[in-house]
Amino acid sequence: PFTHSPNRASNQTLQVNELQRGNPLLSSIRNVRWTHSRGILPDFEMSPHTCALYLSIKYHRLHPDYIARRIDALGRQYTKRVLLVYVDTEDSKLALREINKAAVVGEMTLLLAWSLDEAGRYVEALKVYENRPPDVIRERVEDTFVAQLAAALTSIRSVNKADVLTLAANFRTI
């Protein structure tokens, strides 16, 4: 596992905003190289086109206008924009509604994490998959008749795959 890299940043290194120094999330980012950087606006810069802002629910409750200001400051500089939220309180419904609205208005993808380790894995995945096409994570759909039939019929709660195989074996058309 990699830790903080004091070397100059490269395209293989996750850039972490200097303001995140001391953030406990950083100890959960173990599988990608990262380094602190003063010259970036977001909390995490995966590439020149991909970034993430980080927010905890507790911090949002103390500073409700913070995330809107941060999103506005990004402008349109990044095409892939993620708002990573650490849900660190029990009653977070209202705060999540506010954060969701800010993410939609700011054209950001909202990711929720219920632990720092989960949030760290999200940051690592965003860095690792930064240049991969969307079909890498897209669901793979089988193209055989039986597989498509199973996908369609198992969406009915009382039908399972064994039922689909029995139907396909006993009837020529469905």
8 Å CB contact between 53 and 71:
yes
The token duo for 149 is 């039939």
Cβ neighbours for 130, distance < 8 A, ≥ 6 positions apart: 46, 47, 50, 80
How far apart are the C-alpha atoms of 11 and 46, rounded to whole Å?
8
Cβ neighbours for 71, distance < 8 A, ≥ 6 positions apart: 53, 83, 102, 103, 105, 106, 108
Check residue 64 and give its pLDDT: 93
Check residue 17 and give its pLDDT: 95
Distance of CA 133 to the CA centre of its chain: 15
8 Å CB contact between 54 and 23:
yes
Give the dihedral sign, CA 21/23/25/27.
positive
Check residue 7 and give its pLDDT: 39
Check residue 10 and give its pLDDT: 52
Model confidence, pTM: 0.73
Placement of tokens 């039986």 in the chain: 146
Check residue 2 and give its pLDDT: 39
Give me the average pLDDT of each 10-residue run along the chain (174 residues): 41 91 94 92 93 95 95 91 94 94 94 96 91 66 79 88 87 74
